[in-house]
Structure 1
Amino acid sequence: MRRALAGLTTRGRSFVAAGATAIVCAFVLGERDLLRAGVLVLVLPLLSTLAVSRTRYRLACARRLDPSRLPVGHETRVDLRLENVSRLPSGLLMVEDQVPYTLGGRARFVLDRVEPEGARELSYRLRSDVRGRYRIGPLVVRLADPFGMVELVRSFSQADTLTVTPAIIPLPSGRLMGAWTGGGDSVARTISTAGEDDVAPREYRHGDDLRRVHWRSTARRGELMVRREEQHWQSSGTLFLDTRRSAHWGDGPASSFEQAVSIAASIGVHLGRAGIGLRLVTDAGETLAPSVSFEGTLLDVLAVARTSDVPSLTPGLAALRGNSGQGREGDGLVIAVFGALKAEEARKVAAARRGTATYIAILIRTDEDTGFETAARTLRGAGWRLLVVRSAAELARAWATADQSTEDFARGAP
């Protein structure tokens, strides 16, 4: 009852105050009719409070996001199912799903009545122009009497997560030179030196063909072993993202950092679907190792990526040099997305290039970047291939020239 009294609305409190005032005035003036009116006005919100407080029906809620992960600028549909699992019909219900302000604020519905064992289907749409991870819910149900005197708030505990990923730019197909760690000759040498019945097997890994299990070694080691020449010859590469706050300008979706994140996400998705085993490295060091679920994990990481306070590229470049192309120096593909590079930083980036690997630097050029020309000359002089864009929207056009530029470089063309 105390909780219900605390739930009196402005109308309910006004009736209580008016009723009490009328009763006091009735005693002072000796007006019996005024006393009756005051009692009536005072009792009405109290009866409403009693009725709402004695409500014993139970509600169940389920929520579904379709989809639960989407790019910036797209919509998701939220479906709610509210079920009355008690034997009593519900009264007037005001349903409100808690939604972050960035996604448009709260979603509100009014239900007149839900019969016993009945359910109501509710839905609404959400759209975000800002990437991130958002908490959707919990659902809040407000119980009210027909006169609007009392309103009780009950909240569910269940909430869901909506992940808004960076915008993905579709890229033209094509295989960059150097994208394969090794080649056919290397595979042939592996088989010829080991023999068809390799007696130096390795541990079984997820995805290995069970027909290549080396049973003698399996029995000896007590765990599944497969022939070493059967390990998959998979392409590999490194995706580098410069997240330093000092390297980027602007705020909001048009900032250079947001463009860099979108570019990194687009390249990661494109190369991952092409079968290249990528890892993600930032200025702070290695962030993601190659994995089967790299695309989804990459989008989740970039959805919440923020600019860092790391002053130097040294930790990231050390990670880049330490594991280029699955630890095989000179193999693999390295694609780095940079903001502004000072002359000294450009020299450090240039020195990170090793062997015959294909190194591509994507520079986001802004009007504030006065050292762009110097950085570009330094990287080109060290053998980096450059793609220059002002926004993620220009990535597809620049990417279409990447294959040709690497072929020209391999032939020694200027």
Structure 2
Amino acid sequence: MSASRRPLWFPRLTLRGGAFLGVGALFLVQYLFTGRRDILFVACLLLLVPVTAAAYVAIRPVAVKVSRTFRPSVVEAGRGTIVTLIVRNLSARPLYGLRWRDTGAPGLTTPGALVLPGLDRFEGGRDNGADAVRLEYSLAPRHRGIYSSGPLRLERYDPFGLASSEWTVGEPLDLVVTPTATPLSGTGLTGAGGDGDARERLRHLNHNSDELIAREYRPGDPLRRVNWPATARHGEIMVRQEEHRSNPVARIVLDTALRGRPAPPPGQGPDRRFRHDQAFEVAVELVASVGVHLLDAGFRLDLVELGPSQLGSRTGTGRGGLRGDPAVEFQEAGGMRLLLEGLAGVVPLEPGPAGGAPPAPALSGGYAPQLPLPTFAVLVDIDEQDAAELAALGAAARPAVAFNLDTMRPAVIETLRAAGWRCVPVRAARDIPAAWLDAARAQGAAQGAAAFTGREP
């Protein structure tokens, strides 16, 4: 990381230095009334010493290089990470008597000013000599987000502690704090063990189907795909090649637009905005919990945002949603990390001005699902058009479960319920496990209907 240094305006006097100036000024005033030269000498001495100290700390700038790392670099909200700073002296003279203090974005609690160990003159070579020092401290952000950590501030004092000056050194580094993924019960969609009903019916029709298309094991293949009969016959580990054809898929719809939230009137915005922001944080944690649960069960996950895509590339439609930007796909291998890291930076879109233009009509193209998939919509405050699009999506969803935050309007919820959605209320993060169990009952009903009709849910 490239080094940079910038003095923080002008050298500052400490309390001791200010006292020197104040007493020196009093002696100078006394000299004007008495005319005694000894008092003038003391006054000049008291005034000159802090000025000299300020010049001392300003003339000798700090030349150092700072490298910053996190361990781990991605952390879950509420969990801790270790910040490691390596400070190296780049000047030809030793550095002593410095204090260091790290900075960070709001939400990061950094330690106060601490003494920096002495650094020898620059030696060259690796950053592990006497000209470098390793500093560490812990961080535990409470909320998800992408936080900027740094730069480092170094403070120098003169030998008498009369003046100080600060420099910012190093560059900031982003810390990714993912939402908390609440563990969910292994019921509902995970009942098939991640294999899917289609695969189970295939095995009943042809017991040797797995063996006919088995292939050799490759590094990274899950052990649950090992075909043990084929492994015993061939003398090497074999896995099921047909896994990709019947890999189950689930769909999650996240309300990032909050189009049902009107622009707050002047003087009444903070409370309403805070309520929706809190609900959105619960929605993101719910998406993280359900998404991790489905990926862990072997599902491929399609994530759809009702606003312009923040997790994937945009198509330029501007609206996003079910007929705008395409869904973002997450696979089992590495999908959990990508999902959580993506959700760390998702924010609710700002509402338009009150009384603005009506919502744009549904756009062609974009995300137009054709297959009936298990669908879970996490809704904060949608408008009538989003509700109509979700109602149409209900025909391509088995089951269709809508997790409704307490900011949703009752009329919109009734629209979804009339279209066949199972509406599950969620008020806080602690309600997520119970809400998932409620959704699992809808999945159980869909599986029962599929078994009776012979169709795949």
Same fold (TM over 0.5): yes
The answer to whether 1:97 aligns with 2:113 is no
Report the equivalent of 2:74: 69
Residue 364 (structure 1) aligned with residue 364 (structure 2): no
* Inter-CA distance 113–123: structure 2 relative to 1 (3 Å threshold): closer
The change in CA–CA distance for 1:350 and 1:126 in structure 2 (over 3 A counts) is same
Does the CA-based 8 Å contact 2:71-2:82 persist in structure 1? Answer: yes
Indicate yes or no: 2:439 matched with 1:398.
no
CA change 1:4–1:43 in 2 (3 A) is: farther
Residues 68-109 of structure 1 deviation map (CA, whole Å, 9 limit, x = unaligned): 3333333333333434465644332221111223334x5322
Alignment pair present for 1:240 and 2:245: no
Structure 2 unpaired stretches of 5+:
1-6, 121-129, 214-218, 222-240, 262-271, 307-319, 353-357, 451-457
2:326 matches 1:286 = yes
Is contact 1:92–1:110 with CA below 8 Å preserved after alignment? no
SS at structure 1 position matched to 2:326: strand
> Is the 1:281–1:319 Cα contact (8 Å) retained in structure 2?
no
Give the Cα–Cα distance (whole angstroms) in 2 for the partners of residues 315 and 147 of structure 1: 72
Q: Which amino acid is the alignment partner of residue 82 of structure 1?
A: V
> Which deviates more from structure 2 when the two are superposed, residues 310-319 or residues 232-241?
310-319
Partner of 2:337: 296
Q: Percent identity of the aligned residues? A: 25
1:350 and 2:391 matched: yes
Structure 1 alignment gaps of length 5 or more: 197-205, 209-228
> What pairs with 1:330-345 in structure 2 (closer than 5 Å)?
330-340=371-381, 345=386
Aligned residues: 373
Cα distance, 1:376 vs. partner?
4.8
Note if contact 2:382-2:408 (Cα within 8 Å) is conserved in structure 1: no
TM alignment of 1:193-342, pairs within 5 A: 232-233=244-245, 234-247=247-260, 251=274, 255-283=278-306, 284=320, 285-286=325-326, 288-291=328-331, 292-308=333-349, 309=351, 319-320=366-367, 322=368, 324=369, 329-340=370-381
- 5 Å-filtered alignment, 1:133-152, equals 133-152=146-165
What is the aligned partner in structure 2 of residue 374 from structure 1?
414
Is 1:114 matched with 2:155?
no
CA-based RMSD of the aligned residues comes to: 4.4
Amino acid at match of 2:378: V
Label 1:317 to 1:107 Cα distance change in 2 as closer, same or farther (>3 A). Answer: farther
Pick from 168, 173, 182: which aligns with 1:169?
Answer: 182
Aligned with 1:244: secondary structure?
Answer: coil
Q: Is the 8 A contact 2:70 2:84 kept in 1?
A: yes
Deviation at 1:265, TM superposition (A): 1.4
User: TM-score scaled by structure 1?
Assistant: 0.72
Q: 1:314 to 1:256 in 2, by over 3 A?
A: farther
